[in-house]
């Protein structure tokens, strides 16, 4: 995989990358082991003058050959933890995998109030939507969350059996936010797959945008600069797969598609996959087959997802030129007549014609359409979406 040259953006990073790229100390926790899935604490950053440790499950799969295995760092969302079953899914696919808890919890039985139990080495827990904005940067949750993901990458890379050039990062919901941010910070990752979570959170009409609006302006600009993933999109040099649900209640589709386009940076292998009926949860978020197809495409030379090469929009039609090693067997136009509320969208199915001889999809657009995109499905059932187009207000 050929990387793009990084932007020369002078965005100052708050993290000491040299320190985070070093292999830190790990402490086995055999009482949590389950077969080949092992449990550890690994060293985190200093928090309010004291050392921290991060709980994680990991697995390094056995390989019948001498070849090294690819890897993936798994980043949970709000209310989540280090999920053993998530590690199992990837290990069974031949990936070294690590899932860590980013809020100082242990993945045992939840407390009566529905919270995972804490431990004495905990760093900060997430405070709503950047509600810790008044604290020093090094005491804020996002500072530690991003660092913990990079430290997990360093841990996986310490194994001789793991191919350090083929480790990706994959996160769900808040983990998708962290993933789309860290993709522009940790240049050692080879791919990134954010699900639901995205950038431009300050533009959202829901709790994310409201959180920024409630901050004093100086703090709002500071948090936008350091913690909104959009601040790091020009630094991204790895292919990304952006996966979302059409009716996600937290991350609106127009900001999600905007994040995909801003982060792509000329990388043709980056992709967008919008699903209908997916729902919002950890188990739903790690279900789409496109996630695993994309990871195999980048790390193992697997058959790639279809790729939108070009999209041309005229007064009455949209034309998508695509490439696909696997035949595209279905195409649809999805459009909405009203974009007043992105969280209550009515996406209507319109016809789209596939010309397989020239790899072109054409659909008619009308004045009633306020937003639209093309969905294409290959014979494996893998879905790829064109960027969302929002029509000018009439």
Q: What is the pLDDT of residues 360-376, one digit of tens each?
A: 999 999 999 999 999 99
Q: Which domains does the chain have, with CATH numbers?
A: 17-303 (3.40.50.1820), 308-390 (2.60.40)
Strands (E), 21-177: 26-28, 38-43, 53-59, 69-75, 96-100, 162-172
> How long a stretch of residues is the chain?
394
Q: Is 306 exposed, middle or buried (0-12, 13-18, 19+ CB in 10 A)?
A: buried
| Interval 125-144 mean pLDDT | 97
CA distance 307 to 299: 17
**Backbone CA torsion sign across 109, 112, 115, 120:** negative
Percent of the chain at pLDDT > 70 equals: 96
- Give SS3 for 197: coil
CA distance 174 to 191: 18
What letter would DSSP give residue 335? E
CA distance 173 to 201: 12
pTM: 0.96
Q: What is the DSSP string of 151-172?
A: HHHHHHHT-TTEEEEEEEEEEE
Strands (E), 84-217: 96-100, 162-172, 191-195
| Per-residue confidence (pLDDT) for residue 117, from 0 to 100 | 80
Centre a 10 Å sphere on the Cβ of residue 36 and count the other Cβ atoms it contains.
13
CA–CA distances in Å: residue 308 to residues 38, 312, 322: 40, 11, 4
C-alpha distance across the termini of the chain, in Å: 44
Strand partners, 355: 360
Would you say residue 3 has pLDDT above 60? no
Give the helix, strand, coil percentages of the chain, each rounded to 5: 25, 30, 45
Q: What is the pLDDT of residues 30-68, one digit of tens each?
A: 999 999 999 999 999 999 999 999 999 999 998 767 789
| Per-residue confidence (pLDDT) for residue 67, from 0 to 100 | 86
CB 220 within 8 A of CB 202: yes
Residue 7: pLDDT band by 50, 70, 90 thresholds?
very low
CB 199 within 8 A of CB 107: no
- Give SS3 for 361: strand
What letter would DSSP give residue 80? -
CA distance 3 to 187: 10
Centre a 10 Å sphere on the Cβ of residue 391 and count the other Cβ atoms it contains.
16
Q: What is the pLDDT of residues 80-128, one digit of tens each?
A: 999 999 999 999 999 999 999 999 999 988 777 778 888 999 999 999 9
| Per-residue confidence (pLDDT) for residue 394, from 0 to 100 | 59
| Per-residue confidence (pLDDT) for residue 2, from 0 to 100 | 43
């Amino acid at each position: 995989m050929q990387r793009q040259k990084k932007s020369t953006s002078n965005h100052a990073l708050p993290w000491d990358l040299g320190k985070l790229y070093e292999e830190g100390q790990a402490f086995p926790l055999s009482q949590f082991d389950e077969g080949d899935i092992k449990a550890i604490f690994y060293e985190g950053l200093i928090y309010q003058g004291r050392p921290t440790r991060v709980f994680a499950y990991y697995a390094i799969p056995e390989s019948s050959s001498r070849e090294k295995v690819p890897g993936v760092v798994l980043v949970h969302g709000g209310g989540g933890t280090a999920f053993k079953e998530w590690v199992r899914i990837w290990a069974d696919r031949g990936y070294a995998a690590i899932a860590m808890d980013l809020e100082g919890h242990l993945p045992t039985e939840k407390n009566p109030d529905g919270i995972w139990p804490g431990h004495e080495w905990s760093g900060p827990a997430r405070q709503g939507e950047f509600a810790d904005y008044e604290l020093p940067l090094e005491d804020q949750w996002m500072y530690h969350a991003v660092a913990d993901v990079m430290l997990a990458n360093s841990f996986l890379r310490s194994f001789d059996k793991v191919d350090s050039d083929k480790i990706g990062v994959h996160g769900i919901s808040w983990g998708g936010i962290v993933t789309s941010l860290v993709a522009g910070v940790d240049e050692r990752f080879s791919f990134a797959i954010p699900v639901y979570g995205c950038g431009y959170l300050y533009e959202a009409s829901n709790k994310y945008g409201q959180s920024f609006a409630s901050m004093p302006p100086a703090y709002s600009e500071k948090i936008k600069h350091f913690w909104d993933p959009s601040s790091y999109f020009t630094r991204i040099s790895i292919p990304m797969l952006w996966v979302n649900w059409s009716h996600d209640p937290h991350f609106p589709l127009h900001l999600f598609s905007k994040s995909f386009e801003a982060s792509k940076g000329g990388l043709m292998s980056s992709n967008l996959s919008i699903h209908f009926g997916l729902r919002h949860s950890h188990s739903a978020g790690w279900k789409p087959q496109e996630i695993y197809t994309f990871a195999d495409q980048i790390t193992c030379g697997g058959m790639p997802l279809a790729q939108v090469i070009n999209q041309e929009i005229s007064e009455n039609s949209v034309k998508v030129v695509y490439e696909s090693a696997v035949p595209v067997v279905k195409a649809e136009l999805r459009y909405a007549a009203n974009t007043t509320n992105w969280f209550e969208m009515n996406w209507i199915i319109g016809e789209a014609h596939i010309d397989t001889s020239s790899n072109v999809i054409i659909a008619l657009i009308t004045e009633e359409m306020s937003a639209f995109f093309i969905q294409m499905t290959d014979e494996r059932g893998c879905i790829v979406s064109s960027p969302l187009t929002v029509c000018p207000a009439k």
